[in-house]
Amino acid sequence: MIISSFAFSLMHLCVKALPRIPVFELVFFRGFISLVISYVALKRKKVSPWGNNKKVLLMRGLFGVSALTIFFITLQNIPLAGAVTIQYLSPIFTAFFAIFLLKEKMMTRQWIFFGLAFLGVFLLKGFDISGQISYTYVGLGILSACLSGLAYNCIRLLKDTEEPLVVVFYFPLVATPIMAALSYFEWVQPIGMEWLALLLLGVFTQIAQILMTKGIQSDTAGNIMSLKYVGILFAFAYGYFFFGESYSFMSILGIFLLFSGVILNMIFKKKDQKTRFDDRREDKKLGSSLAK
């Protein structure tokens, strides 16, 4: 998940470096390159690309495409670290939807940590010294995170039925035709180094998606998604060194609160799970002793 976050951060950098290219076109190139790479990889592994649970695979594709398109809009219109920070509310929505879709339990203190994270978002908006983070883009960022949470839960639902590459394949399978049609109406011809940036956009995303899918399927959704937050550090560094972005102390405090809320959730959920595991083990020992 950490390497995946780094690859995603390079994807964010590519999007930020392509302000001239419309969002639908960016998602089209990202999807087309990923589609080709995924299909070739599946053929080499002799795995059917169509999967078993097509309904959930399609839902994962639709939620993911919608989330990514909205996220790209925020990336092009507000500072990099701000866009990434707001979108990284997705672990909160992942854990929330997992209550209903995966029957995972949520402890009371987790809600407190999630409230802390949302407080961080509002501090980030309220003390934005650049004036570039409007409520519209905050709302779009939250919507993107919500849709991402649904997509990540779909990935978890597919854990026992699908090869990770098949899950990755369905994203560009859904994205490419939809974005090709939408891009037709506002196509901008890439020039020079823009072609390289578009190619890298697809390659970095493919690497990130495969590693993220394997990471999500290896642990409970609420736990593993928290590791995505290391991407905030990359976003800060890129924004500062490449785009001259700056934040007020209160905005940085907001990002810190958001970051802390999710990390605390991860730590305490791990402890709660260990406690429940130990309790079940003790119950088994007691039951075995009584049986004897």
What tokens appear for 66 in the block?
A: 């919608």
Predicted local confidence at residue 235, as pLDDT: 85
The pLDDT score that the predictor gives to residue 189 is 95
Q: Which two tokens stand for residue 72?
A: 């790209």
Q: Coil, helix or strand for 13? A: helix
- Give me the residue label for tokens 């190139």: 29
Burial 45-65 (b: 16+ CB within 10 A, else e): eeeebebebeebbebbbbbbb
pLDDT of res. 83? 87
Phi, psi of 18, rounded to the nearest 5 degrees: -125, 55
Distances (CA, A) of 248 to 79, 118, 237, 244: 13, 18, 15, 14
- pTM equals 0.81
Q: For residue 225, what pLDDT is reported? A: 59
Q: Give the structural domain span for 56.
A: 2-291
What pLDDT does residue 269 have?
67
**How many angstroms from the chain centroid is the CA of residue 23?**
18
Query: What region, left, alpha or beta, does residue 248 occupy, with left being phi > 0 and alpha being psi -120 to 50 degrees?
Result: beta
Cβ contacts of 54 within 8 Å, gap of 6 or more: none
Question: What is the spatial distance between Cα 14 and Cα 10, in angstroms, rounded to a whole number?
Answer: 6
**245: number of CA atoms within 13 Å, CB side?**
24
Q: What is the pLDDT of residue 102?
A: 87
Taking a C-beta distance cutoff of 8 angstroms, is the pair 262, 121 a contact? no
pLDDT of 64 reads: 94
Q: 10-residue block means of pLDDT along the chain (292 residues)?
A: 88 92 95 93 92 94 95 90 83 86 81 84 67 83 94 90 90 95 94 94 89 76 63 82 81 80 73 60 56 56
Task: Answer whether 16's CB lies under 8 Å from 204's CB.
Answer: no
- The number of domains in the chain is 1
